[in-house]
Amino acid sequence: MRFIDLFAGLGGFHKALHELGHECVFVSELDPVLRENYKRNWGNNINIHGDIKKIVKENIDLIPDHDILCAGFPCQPFSKAGKQLGRKDERGTLFDEIVKILEAKTPKYFILENVRFIAKHNNEETWKAMKAEFQRLGYDVDHNDYSPHDFGIPQHRQRIFIVGALGKNALSHFSFEEIDKRKKPVIDLANFIEENPSGYKKLPKANQACIKLWQELIDALPKETGLPGFPIWGMEFGADYPFEEDYPSLLSQRQLSGYKGNFGISLKGMTREEQFANLPSYARVEDKFPDWKRQYIKKNRAFYADNKKFIKDVVNRIAELPSQSWQKLEWNVGTEGKRKINKYILQFRASGIRVKKADFFPSLVCTNTQIPIIGWENRYITRKEGLKLQSLNGLSLPENDTAAFKALGNAVNAKIVKLIAANLLVEERKVNGVSSRHIKSNSISKAYESAA
């Protein structure tokens, strides 16, 4: 069958469908670096274009007839990590380009991928509008959420996968339950980490020193004191600014002068601008603090009050770290594991230094500053390891590491797509007259075993 690959990135859809024997007849990718990279992976003769909005508006016939439309359309408008503007965001309207192509070319199938929050965005109104558009065009639609870790790949990355087939009850042959049967919860992390990798990036000394400081704090706590399950916000250690009925934005300079900000620094004698600069960034807001934020502040202040005599000295040094994100620690390991940060998978995030159990990698995201770190080796994951986490083994990446990890963060996982496509497209496969039902029961297993 013939397929098109929209918002193609590294070509996760291409890899999955190519391995199932289908032919790519059109590609769209806005980023020129990724377009050249796509050619390196799939051949210079590939029919690849740039801005899909321009193509749809000016010459939709550039898009050839096809059987399957694939698209991992931009997720930022719907992501909980973003502003959640949805279709108010220009990138959110790219969904409309998909609709226009479906209407003009009427492919028999489509497979879409996005952040799972899209189904909940705007009290589900966004998803209802999308589904109504598909149904208007005559498509039977279904969706489900999957993460690579569901299928034996050590990466937490929940995504929604939307499938459609043209015609009434056209998905009667398809079931996500069949894909659920291929879940593989047991994960061998060693299969995804290189031994003595070449060209790896060492964790900078400043980051290592930061981790060492937080380890000193953990070591200073009594062994019977459990590490908090809530995010540790060091800035709250010694702070007493109001955060419930009153909060900083409601107070005058004179009123704030009676309080302490980050790490207990007195706000007395400062200008209002200086006062706010010496408050946590999350406290410099115009609106009332949400309940979750008030709870974290309250718990952090109580934790410090209970343990001040043990940790005061190291807290003073944590206060000198150059970034507030480094002054926060997220211990996502629980109470049973070893209390050694470098025994785990780490990530430097805006929300703090995240410490995860060494059985899953955190979700790859489209920023070079949050590349997962293998703590016991004091290094970032390699490009090759990143490809494994997205089931893109064997593909080339852009030469620049920033571009490479951004592309990996935006990529669709090829293994999950292959499982879905093998089930969705099974009725199109006729082998020596064997019934499609028999092919269905075997094709998924074969795809699962051979998927990279």
Asked if 75 is an active-site residue, the reply is yes
Element (H, E) at 422: helix 414-424
* Structural contact between residues 385 and 76, judged by C-beta atoms closer than 8 angstroms: no
Best CA proximity match to 191, nearest among 235, 144, 243, 152: 152
Name the phi and psi angles at 332, rounded to 5. -100, 45
Identify the CA nearest to 421 among candidates 396, 391, 394: 391
d(CA 231, CA 194): 31
Q: Give CA 354 to chain center in angstroms.
A: 14
Scored b (16 or more CB within 10 A) or e, 295-323 reads: ebbebbbebbeebeeebeebbeebbebee
Neighbouring residues of 49: CB distance < 8 A, sequence distance ≥ 6: 26, 27, 28, 29, 55, 62
The side-by-side arrangement of strands in the sheet containing 345-349 is 232-233, 328-332, 352-356, 345-349, 373-374, 379-380
Of the residues 24, 75, 210, 366, which is catalytic? 75
32-42 vs 401-410: helix crossing angle, rounded to 10? 80
H helices of 240-342, in order, are: 253-256, 272-277, 291-318
Q: Are strands 48-49 and 23-28 parallel, antiparallel or unpaired?
A: parallel
Give the residue carrying structure tokens 């893109």. 392
Residues labelled catalytic: 75
